[in-house]
Amino acid sequence: MELTFPYKQALQQEGYAIIDNVFNEEEVAGIVEAINNIDTSGTAFRKTSDLYAIRRFIKEVPAMAPLLFNSRMQAIIDQLFGNDYSLVKSIYFDKPGQSNWFVAYHQDLTISADQKMQLEGYEQWTVKNDQFAVQPPLSLLENIFTIRIHLDDTDENNGALKIVPGSHRKGIYRPETIDWSREKEVICKVPRGGVMIMQPLLLHASNRTVNNNKRRVIHLEFSNQQLPNGLQWAEYLAVNNFPASA
């Protein structure tokens, strides 16, 4: 899979890119079947009427990794990020058709770590269900890339992400300060089997579902950095360890 120049340019300038057909119908069906067979009794699993989520998704379900990192995904990582990038966070989201759950505009400002430590530049620690999150230095956030694998067709009617193009280049950008006379909003429609790539500092939001269609997304974050002073990523996987399938 050879990626053309506009994808990398869009990621740098706009903060996001959408690539169709990264997974074919058979591959998507295999991923969905594997998810449906997961034991969801652990603390990493959250299920309500509005949202079903699995945090540390690949760590909790390691058999998922070879299904996700096919040759096309590996090409995206190598060509758009670099061959030294590894997985550092994974979450599965299922926004049911009847969901009234929405997310206001925000940036993804935290990473997941294996423990809490007092480190310069690492602030606003939170702990929930033995999972540690912290806001790291801006330079680390600027170096992370996110891939969102879509298991359903997603548009403005079932909670597709809304984004503010270019906002990732403005540092910490508080949503309450968005000047809509200067900024624009884009709705990111992604077909089933496609991916949306974005940088965590890109302002993004999502609306409630209004058409009763599901929106299932696998959220993967990648970095080529190690954390300081013995602090470790809560989840870490070298994705080039998997043999590239078709």
Q: What is the mean pLDDT of residues 63-76?
A: 94
Residue 111 burial class via C-beta count within 10 angstroms: exposed 0-12, middle 13-18, buried 19 and up: buried
Whole-angstrom distance, CA of residue 66 vs CA of residue 245: 9
Q: Write out the two tokens for 5.
A: 């120049």
Q: What is the mean pLDDT of residues 142-164?
A: 95
Residue 95: CA atoms inside 13 Å, Cβ hemisphere, count? 28
Q: How confident is the model at residue 25, as a pLDDT?
A: 97
CA 215 from chain centre, in angstroms, equals 14
Of the candidates 239, 156, 147, 158, the one whose C-alpha atom is nearest the C-alpha of residue 195 is: 147
> In which band, very low, low, confident or very high, does the pLDDT at 207 lie, cut at 50, 70 and 90?
confident
Q: What is the mean pLDDT of residues 232-238?
A: 95
Task: Please state the domain extents for the chain.
Answer: 5-241
Q: What is the mean pLDDT of residues 120-146?
A: 94
C-beta separation of 86 from 235 below 8 A: no
Q: How confident is the model at residue 131, as a pLDDT?
A: 87
Q: How confident is the model at residue 246, as a pLDDT?
A: 46
Least confident window among 139-148, 185-194, 201-210: 201-210
* Helix intervals (H) in the chain: 5-13, 25-36, 57-60, 65-68, 71-76, 138-141
Least confident window among 83-92, 122-131, 138-147: 122-131
Whole-angstrom distance, CA of residue 151 vs CA of residue 48: 20
C-beta separation of 123 from 137 below 8 A: no
Q: Spell out the residues 6+ positions from residue 32 whose beta carbon is closer than 8 angstroms to its own.
A: 151, 216
Q: Spell out the residues 6+ positions from residue 128 whose beta carbon is closer than 8 angstroms to its own.
A: none
Least confident window among 99-103, 187-191, 225-229, 237-241: 99-103
The answer to whether residue 245 scores a pLDDT higher than 60 is no
For the stretch 10-58, pLDDT in tens is 999 999 999 999 999 999 999 999 998 887 776 666 665 455 788 899 9
Amino acid letter at 17?
A: A
Percent of the chain with pLDDT over 70: 89
Among the CATH numbers 1.10.10.10, 3.90.1150.10, 2.130.10.30, 2.60.120.620, which is that of 5-241?
2.60.120.620
Q: How confident is the model at residue 239, as a pLDDT?
A: 87
130 conformational bin, left if phi > 0, alpha if psi -120 to 50, beta if neither: left
For the stretch 106-132, pLDDT in tens is 999 999 999 999 999 999 999 987 789
The model's pTM is 0.92
Q: How confident is the model at residue 38, as a pLDDT?
A: 84
Percent of the chain with pLDDT over 90: 74
Phi, psi of 36 (to 5 degrees): -65, -20
Q: What is the mean pLDDT of residues 78-96?
A: 91
Whole-angstrom distance, CA of residue 22 vs CA of residue 81: 16
